[in-house]
Every structure is written in structure tokens, then in C-alpha cells.
Amino acid sequence: MSGTGYRRAAWLPGPHLGTVYASVARPWPRPPFRRERWDLPDGDFLDVDRLAGARAGAPVLVISHGLEGNSRASYVRGLAAAASRRGLAVVAWNFRGCSGEPNRLLRQYHSGETGDLAWVVDRLASEDPARPILVAGFSLGGNQLVKWMGERGDDLPAPVRAAVAVSVPFDLEACAVALDGPGFWPFVYRERFLRRLRRKALRKAAEHPGSLDPDAVRRSRTFSEYDGLVTARLHGFASAQDYWRRCSAARFVGSVRRDLLLLSADDDPLVPARSIPVAEARGNPAVRLEVTPGGGHVAFVSGTPLAPAFWAEERAVAFLVSRLGTAGG
């Protein structure tokens, strides 16, 4: 199940340079998005970006971003641009509170939140039941995607033909331990995420007095602390460990019944290689797992400094398009 066709960029050695470059320094594709606000049944909303100019009835690709990302993230835009070149329509949706405007309710999003993804897919299916739907998710969004597919099994909406999940944190506890560990790079990744998460949590605490302990939130410096103080408390888990156990995607790989491609790197600095569910993927004919030698986290950079390429985005679109001729289920 090794990844084929990927050759890591020699000018970005090691897992960290590629990961950082892909996140903050890569050329940013600018596909023409049109923003829409979709009101949710519980009174909240989702901000959704549709790719402008897609032909009527074209298969639609639903893209989910990663932790503290959004629909304008470089990897989302990169995948949208690659999909557009293959004639696909695109809907890139923002998790609650990630579009640049705080969501209305106390609840936020988390790695195991599949209700909003299901609602987005159901809405698109109701718009045009004959239109094929493809789904892709990156990192946290990939964890949600795999969990949703496993939860639903044979009960996925009929238009859903296939899905791709990139750099999935299959074991949330193992990933939290890696990020909470000692050293320069874990600190960099951890603080980049937690700084934003603390800011959002403190806003919720101010808007909903008594919901959270603001002082404890300010002091939180690890994912273990934050997920115990905020994620678990706001979303009905007994503890951070309970949240991690119940929401880790690895538990759901064996129950997937629609074509699913999993793309991982063996040197992902956020996802320990030992947490990749190799046996579960091998035991499920609906799942194809490709683990590349190198590639970092949501990176997979190849090419040259003047002409970088992003293998996972092209591989994802090729896989998804190849499944359009097959019936879902």
C-alpha cells in the first residue's frame, strides 16, 4: 500500500520544511469562488464557497479543510483548481466559526463532528439528485470524512461516488501526544493551532458566561489541556481521552462501504506512522491506502522551486474522476 508516483522535492528535505512551505509559502491558486451562507436547522450557519463557472450538472466535489483552516486555505484552493481542470464543480465549506465570522451557537467544530458534513452533502444531493457527488477532506476534515463514511456504511446518499482523505489523524490521542511532546517543532505546530483555538474559546466564554473557565483556557498549553477544557466540555465528551477515543477515524475504516482513497506520508510530523490503520485498510476492499515515503503533513511537494507541484491534489482528483463511471454502493 505504498504511495506510487510521488517523489519528494529534493529542495525541501525532511518532514518539516515541506509541511511549512505547503502551509505558508506555496503559490496560492485563486480559483473563482462565490460565497453563500447556508442557514442550519439549529439556528447556526455555514459559509460555503462555490466554484464559479462550473457547467450545469457537473459532478460536484465537496472539500473539507483542516484544523483552524478555511475554504480559502492553499491546499483547498489547490485541490479546487485541479478539480476545475478536470471539469468538476466544487463546493468548499467552512466549519462553524472558520469563515472569518464567529458562529452563533456555543458549540463549535471538532474532529468527530460529522453532522454538518452530512447536512452539506444532503443539501447538494437534494439540489440535483442525478448529479454525482465526490468528497475530499484534509487532516481534521479527513478524519470527519472517514468517520462519516464508516458511520453511515451502506447508508450514504446514493449520489456519493467516492472520497479522498489526506493526512488523516487516524488516532487522535497519538497525534495529541506527538504535538504535546518536547522539542522545537512540536512547540511550533502546537502553538500555531492553540493560539487560534484559545482566542475562539475565550470569545465563546465571553458570549456565554459560565460555559467555560476563561483563566484555565488562557493557561492551556497542550492539546490534552485544551481538549479537556473546551472540546470535551462543549460537545458532550467526558474528557479529552473520551473525545479522542470516540472520534478517531481508525475505528471507522473497516466500516466504509464506498470507494475511499487514503493518502498519508510515513514522515508526517503530526500523524505518527504507527497510527496509520494499515491492517484495517487492507481488510476493506472499498479502501485504498497509499503511504508515501516522505511528504510531511498536507504537503506532498514535488517539482522545483520555480515550478512546485503538489502530488496529493492531482492524485486525489485522478482517483475521484476514475470513480465517476462506477455506481455508488
Residues taking part in catalysis: 139, 268, 297
- Take residue 52 and report the three cell numbers written for it: 464559479
Please give the C-alpha separations between residue 22 and each of 15, 54, 192, 298, in angstroms, as whole numbers.
11, 27, 15, 7
Half-sphere exposure (Cβ direction) of 9: Cα atoms closer than 13 Å: 24
Find cell 486525489 and name the residue: 316
What are the DSSP E strand ranges found in the chain? Answer: 33-39, 45-51, 60-64, 89-93, 133-138, 160-166, 259-265, 287-292, 301-303, 308-310
CA–CA dist 117, 98 (Å, integer): 14
Q: Where are the alpha helices (DSSP H) in 208-327?
A: 214-219, 223-226, 232-235, 240-247, 278-282, 311-322
CA–CA dist 92, 88 (Å, integer): 13
